[in-house]
Amino acid sequence: MSYAQGKHSLGVCDRCGWAYRYLQLRMEWTGFKVCPECYEPKNPQLDPPLIPTDPEALHQPRPEVPLPQAQLGLVIANSATFTTSAGVNVGALPATTADPIGSDFSAEEATGSIGTVTVVTT
Protein backbone atom coordinates (compact mmCIF):
# COMPACT_ATOMS: atom_id res chain seq x y z
CA MET A 1 0.00 0.00 0.00
CA SER A 2 1.36 3.40 -0.91
CA TYR A 3 0.71 6.73 0.78
CA ALA A 4 0.50 10.29 -0.52
CA GLN A 5 3.55 12.49 0.01
CA GLY A 6 1.61 15.16 1.88
CA LYS A 7 3.47 18.13 0.37
CA HIS A 8 0.24 20.22 0.26
CA SER A 9 -1.36 18.80 3.45
CA LEU A 10 -1.75 20.21 6.93
CA GLY A 11 -1.30 18.36 10.20
CA VAL A 12 -2.13 19.15 13.82
CA CYS A 13 0.59 19.07 16.48
CA ASP A 14 -0.27 16.44 19.12
CA ARG A 15 1.13 18.64 21.90
CA CYS A 16 0.05 22.23 21.23
CA GLY A 17 -2.84 21.64 18.76
CA TRP A 18 -1.73 24.20 16.15
CA ALA A 19 -1.92 23.38 12.45
CA TYR A 20 1.40 23.03 10.57
CA ARG A 21 2.47 21.73 7.22
CA TYR A 22 2.40 17.94 7.39
CA LEU A 23 6.06 17.62 6.36
CA GLN A 24 7.15 19.95 9.21
CA LEU A 25 5.78 17.64 11.92
CA ARG A 26 8.35 15.34 13.51
CA MET A 27 7.83 11.99 15.24
CA GLU A 28 8.90 12.25 18.87
CA TRP A 29 10.25 9.39 21.02
CA THR A 30 6.89 9.34 22.87
CA GLY A 31 5.07 8.49 19.63
CA PHE A 32 3.57 11.99 19.21
CA LYS A 33 3.83 13.87 15.94
CA VAL A 34 4.78 17.40 17.03
CA CYS A 35 5.75 20.74 15.51
CA PRO A 36 9.37 21.96 15.51
CA GLU A 37 8.70 24.23 18.54
CA CYS A 38 7.28 21.37 20.69
CA TYR A 39 9.84 18.74 19.66
CA GLU A 40 11.98 17.44 22.55
CA PRO A 41 14.70 14.85 21.97
CA LYS A 42 14.83 11.94 24.37
CA ASN A 43 17.01 12.55 27.40
CA PRO A 44 19.83 9.95 27.57
CA GLN A 45 19.16 9.48 31.31
CA LEU A 46 15.87 7.78 30.44
CA ASP A 47 17.72 4.87 28.85
CA PRO A 48 18.93 2.16 31.24
CA PRO A 49 22.71 1.92 31.55
CA LEU A 50 24.43 -0.76 29.51
CA ILE A 51 25.88 -3.18 32.06
CA PRO A 52 27.82 -6.11 30.61
CA THR A 53 27.11 -9.57 31.96
CA ASP A 54 29.53 -11.14 34.41
CA PRO A 55 31.74 -13.84 32.92
CA GLU A 56 31.08 -17.19 34.59
CA ALA A 57 33.45 -19.64 32.91
CA LEU A 58 36.98 -19.69 31.55
CA HIS A 59 37.50 -20.08 27.79
CA GLN A 60 39.86 -23.08 27.92
CA PRO A 61 40.21 -24.10 31.57
CA ARG A 62 43.10 -26.20 32.81
CA PRO A 63 41.81 -27.79 36.03
CA GLU A 64 44.29 -29.07 38.58
CA VAL A 65 44.82 -32.81 38.34
CA PRO A 66 44.75 -34.40 41.80
CA LEU A 67 47.99 -36.16 42.78
CA PRO A 68 47.83 -39.76 44.02
CA GLN A 69 47.74 -40.16 47.81
CA ALA A 70 50.98 -41.30 49.49
CA GLN A 71 50.97 -44.45 51.67
CA LEU A 72 54.13 -45.16 53.68
CA GLY A 73 56.29 -43.27 51.21
CA LEU A 74 54.94 -45.08 48.15
CA VAL A 75 52.28 -43.89 45.75
CA ILE A 76 50.36 -46.48 43.79
CA ALA A 77 48.46 -45.19 40.78
CA ASN A 78 45.22 -47.16 40.40
CA SER A 79 44.38 -45.73 37.00
CA ALA A 80 46.47 -45.60 33.88
CA THR A 81 48.85 -42.64 33.70
CA PHE A 82 51.47 -41.37 31.25
CA THR A 83 54.75 -40.86 33.08
CA THR A 84 57.94 -39.64 31.46
CA SER A 85 61.35 -41.14 32.23
CA ALA A 86 61.80 -38.38 34.81
CA GLY A 87 58.56 -39.43 36.51
CA VAL A 88 56.46 -36.48 35.34
CA ASN A 89 52.79 -37.46 34.95
CA VAL A 90 51.49 -36.31 31.54
CA GLY A 91 48.35 -38.36 31.01
CA ALA A 92 47.78 -42.13 30.80
CA LEU A 93 50.55 -44.78 30.73
CA PRO A 94 50.07 -48.16 32.43
CA ALA A 95 49.67 -48.03 36.20
CA THR A 96 52.99 -47.61 37.98
CA THR A 97 54.21 -47.23 41.52
CA ALA A 98 55.77 -43.81 42.03
CA ASP A 99 56.75 -41.59 44.89
CA PRO A 100 55.19 -38.15 45.46
CA ILE A 101 58.09 -36.31 43.77
CA GLY A 102 57.76 -38.20 40.50
CA SER A 103 60.52 -40.84 40.42
CA ASP A 104 59.56 -44.48 39.66
CA PHE A 105 59.82 -47.38 42.12
CA SER A 106 60.30 -50.96 41.02
CA ALA A 107 60.19 -52.54 44.50
CA GLU A 108 57.54 -52.74 47.20
CA GLU A 109 59.97 -52.22 50.07
CA ALA A 110 62.96 -50.01 50.55
CA THR A 111 65.40 -49.40 53.37
CA GLY A 112 67.75 -46.54 53.93
CA SER A 113 70.00 -44.96 56.50
CA ILE A 114 71.37 -41.54 57.12
CA GLY A 115 73.91 -42.17 59.82
CA THR A 116 74.12 -42.96 63.51
CA VAL A 117 72.66 -41.20 66.49
CA THR A 118 74.17 -41.46 69.96
CA VAL A 119 72.01 -40.62 72.97
CA VAL A 120 73.72 -40.18 76.33
CA THR A 121 71.68 -39.84 79.52
CA THR A 122 73.12 -39.08 82.94
In DSSP notation, 37-58 reads TT--PPPGGGSPP--PPPP-S-
Task: Tell me what the mean pLDDT of segment 94-112 comes to.
Answer: 54
Q: Model confidence at 104, in pLDDT bands (50, 70, 90)?
A: low
* pLDDT > 70? residue 91: no
64: amino acid identity, one letter: E
Q: Distance between CA 71 and CA 68 in Å, rounded? A: 9
pTM score? 0.41
Q: Where are the domains of the chain?
A: 10-42, 68-104
pLDDT band at 95 (very low <50, low <70, confident <90, very high): very low
pLDDT at position 37 is 96
Residue 79 pLDDT > 60, yes or no?
A: no
CA distance 99 to 73: 7
